[in-house]
């Protein structure tokens, strides 16, 4: 499903500079330490002008590279990824897959009883166009706040990211395109208020990445571009 979705998001350029991957791994370890998840999460950065991140069944989380430019630093990115890990924790992506395809297809997928990739591609695109339910979003938000505070990472970043998208909603730019194409993160005032209520403003925090590691992560696509020249 990941392979079939990439052409809809970019030119299938997976960003994989070694220093960037190591920085992303460091951030992921910080977030998931002592956290029980149903899957070992796999993070992939894909070069794209759309800012977003999304989780697919099996714990695969895709980060669209423009997100690295939109966030206000590694702590805000960590908050966005913690939200996606909340969807992984509660298996929301699989629930969405079942809602979209029905249990019969999911069972067939697990036993290998299907033909071709067109059905999977169609399902993937449908999942991207469908929003998580309000309850699923609330669950993922609450999990994200808990995860961030346990990791001693600032927990206000997700509300900040959502407010940023909301403030740009009327502008004709890449953020608006992201909202129309990937609707899994509706930037509602209700969610922002709930996140601000959940977040402990006085919790002890330390930077999730050093400045050098953050610089490496933001440059994770540079190797990809160099190979094209």
Q: pLDDT tens for residues 105-115?
A: 554 545 444 44
In this predicted structure, what is the pLDDT of residue 122?
Answer: 47
- The arithmetic mean of pLDDT across residues 88-92, rounded, is 90
Reported as a pLDDT band with limits 50, 70 and 90, residue 57 is confident
- The arithmetic mean of pLDDT across residues 189-208, rounded, is 86
Least reliable range by pLDDT among 49-63, 105-119, 164-178: 105-119
pLDDT at 209 over 90: yes
- The arithmetic mean of pLDDT across residues 30-48, rounded, is 93
Read off the tokens for 172. 């004709």
Instruction: Say if CB 141 and CB 198 are below 8 A apart.
Output: yes
Residue 81 domain-assigned?
A: yes
In this predicted structure, what is the pLDDT of residue 129?
Answer: 47
Residue 221 domain-assigned?
A: no
pLDDT at 41 over 90: yes
Element at 106 (helix H, strand E): helix 103-111
Residue 227 domain-assigned?
A: no
- Structural domain for 145, as ranges: 2-211
Residue 28 domain-assigned?
A: yes
In this predicted structure, what is the pLDDT of residue 152?
Answer: 95
- The arithmetic mean of pLDDT across residues 127-142, rounded, is 76
Closest by CA to 62, choosing from 110, 20, 3, 11, is 3
Q: What is the pTM of this model?
A: 0.77
In this predicted structure, what is the pLDDT of residue 118?
Answer: 45
Residue 222 domain-assigned?
A: no
Total domains, the chain: 1
Read off the tokens for 114. 């299907």
In this predicted structure, what is the pLDDT of residue 174?
Answer: 47
Least reliable range by pLDDT among 95-99, 193-197, 225-229: 225-229
Residue 108 domain-assigned?
A: yes
Residue 225 domain-assigned?
A: no
Instruction: Say if CB 123 and CB 96 are below 8 A apart.
Output: no
Read off the tokens for 40. 């070992």
Rounded to 10 degrees, what is the CA torsion of 145, 148, 151, 154?
Answer: -120
Residue 219 domain-assigned?
A: no
How far apart CA 74 and CA 77 sit, in angstroms, is 5
């Amino acid at each position: 499903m990941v392979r079939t979705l990439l052409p809809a998001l970019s030119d299938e350029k997976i960003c994989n500079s070694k220093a960037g991957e190591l920085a992303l791994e460091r951030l992921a370890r910080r977030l998931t330490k002592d956290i029980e998840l149903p899957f070992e999460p796999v993070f992939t950065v894909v070069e794209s002008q759309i800012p977003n991140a999304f989780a697919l069944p099996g714990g695969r989380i895709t980060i669209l590279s423009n997100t690295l430019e939109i966030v206000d630093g590694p702590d805000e990115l960590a908050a966005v990824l913690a939200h996606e890990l909340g969807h992984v924790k509660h298996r929301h992506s699989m629930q969405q897959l079942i809602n979209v395809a029905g249990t019969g297809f999911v069972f067939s997928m697990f036993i290998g009883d299907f033909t071709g990739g067109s059905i999977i591609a169609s399902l993937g695109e449908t999942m991207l166009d469908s929003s998580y339910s309000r309850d699923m979003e609330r669950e993922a938000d609450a999990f994200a706040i808990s995860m961030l505070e346990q990791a001693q990472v600032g927990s206000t970043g997700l509300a900040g990211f959502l407010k940023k998208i909301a403030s740009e909603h009327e502008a004709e730019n890449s953020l608006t395109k992201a909202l129309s194409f990937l609707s899994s993160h509706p930037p509602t005032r209700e969610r922002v208020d709930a996140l601000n209520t959940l977040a402990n403003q006085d919790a002890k925090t330390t930077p999730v990445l050093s400045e050098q590691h953050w610089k490496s992560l933001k440059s994770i696509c540079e190797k990809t571009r160099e190979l094209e020249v």
